[in-house]
Structure 1
């Protein structure tokens, strides 16, 4: 197969299904089936566990972000300060829970808190980001080479996880981006190993963000000498939003 021929991906195999389950790209019904198999099939559950370990280096690049505490502080202040201020000594003697003024004050504070909750994202809208992560299953009919690719727009890199298939002696796998009918653009030789990261050039970032096709070809050691694919396509797939 060449890049001029059909490069549509062929899905199949429990290993690939487990990997797609871990990164969250399965359709809802497929995910339910996979979840049931995890509970019922020990071998499949082991595959899922293995992929969670394989993908952990990719996830480690993204630190946890805690939500701001300012909203909760404002809500607490409006709720409890307002409720306390409406209670009178007589009401305190009768019991706070039987005070009509208390409940009116609490309702008013709740409305104010809701207004704050709604207003905060309007007044301080989050910075709108392009689709920050895209994923592709790279496979090809008649080839045992399979990769899972994750494009991270925030860090401008493609993370590759090697699922199966080995390169021949004296050969390398090279990653290509295909946009429409334009000539393939090399993204570099794929380093050997279970996982790899390839930095995306500024010129290719916008094209990838729009959902291009990624393809892997078998090339001489060191990559294509011509700047275009010279060997067969061993895996390919469309980038899709996670």
Structure 2
């Protein structure tokens, strides 16, 4: 697929790969040429660079576990048997992310999964009504803070599945006398609790529709330090140690 015939999703993925330096040969030349003549594509490359900067600057190098790549491959497996011209591009893209993962870490692999598994556009029948704009775009937030100790987390929100995953990248040692509570703060500024971070690993949860409507682009996700069991008042009582804005992935 040439750069001039890319779908919007392919353009976004290509911009991400150019920002991270994953392209080589003709693909690199074509992407650079597209960025030189297309201001919108050039801006997309810059946006991806800004999104990945926290990972590149603050997350220690770590080779993703094999299970992470198996999950990515399983996610694109259903398309393998279909007659889909984009499938070779997806396989090549996965290979590039796999080769780069040693320098990007397991969290970048999670973002690769967002890129690789976003729904591919299908051509509508000639008689079909005009499609409605979907409000189910996956989103991501980089949560960062420095008080009382460096805290870094990555949040992934999948509106279609109503799944929120908050993955710690850098957090203080677990203290059983404290709890890390996740909050969403929409435009009206009122915090709403999304649950507690576990002692180890990511927080995963299925969000009810009413709360899911608060997880929109521009909303803030925040982490506060609370007593065991979380804030008893429904609002943050302890210090907010990390925050970040949701943006389209």
Larger RCO, structure (CA 8 Å, separation 6 or more) = 1
Cα root mean square deviation, aligned: 3.9
1:207 shift after superposition = 2.3
Would you say how many aligned residue pairs link Structure 1 and Structure 2?
163
1:147 pairs with one of 153, 156, 174? 153
Q: Which has the larger radius of gyration?
A: 1
- Does residue 32 of structure 1 match 2:21? yes
1:174 pairs with one of 168, 181, 203? 181
Query: Given the superposition, is the C-alpha separation of residues 178 and 169 from structure 1 closer, same or farther in structure 2, using an over 3 Å criterion?
Result: same
Which residue of the partner structure matches residue 79 of structure 2? Answer: 66
Which residue of the partner structure matches residue 57 of structure 2? Answer: none
1:220 shift after superposition = 0.3
Which residue of the partner structure matches residue 244 of structure 2? Answer: 237
- Does residue 138 of structure 1 match 2:138? no
Unaligned runs of 5+ in 1: 1-23, 36-45, 73-117
Query: Given the superposition, is the C-alpha separation of residues 208 and 60 from structure 1 closer, same or farther in structure 2, using an over 3 Å criterion?
Result: farther
Q: TM-score, normalized by length of structure 1? A: 0.54
Unaligned runs of 5+ in 2: 1-12, 25-59, 86-121
Which residue of the partner structure matches residue 217 of structure 1? Answer: 224
1:233 shift after superposition = 0.7
Determine helix, strand or coil for the equivalent of 1:203. helix
1:168 shift after superposition = 2.7
State how far apart, in whole Å, the 1-side matches of 2:139 and 2:240 are. Answer: 21
1:129 pairs with one of 125, 131, 134? 134
1:69 shift after superposition = 5.5
Query: Given the superposition, is the C-alpha separation of residues 220 and 61 from structure 1 closer, same or farther in structure 2, using an over 3 Å criterion?
Result: farther
Q: TM-score, normalized by length of structure 2? A: 0.53
Contact kept? 1:217, 1:229, Cα under 8 Å: yes
1:169 shift after superposition = 3.2
Determine helix, strand or coil for the equivalent of 2:63. helix
Which residue of the partner structure matches residue 49 of structure 1? Answer: 63
Contact kept? 1:174, 1:216, Cα under 8 Å: yes
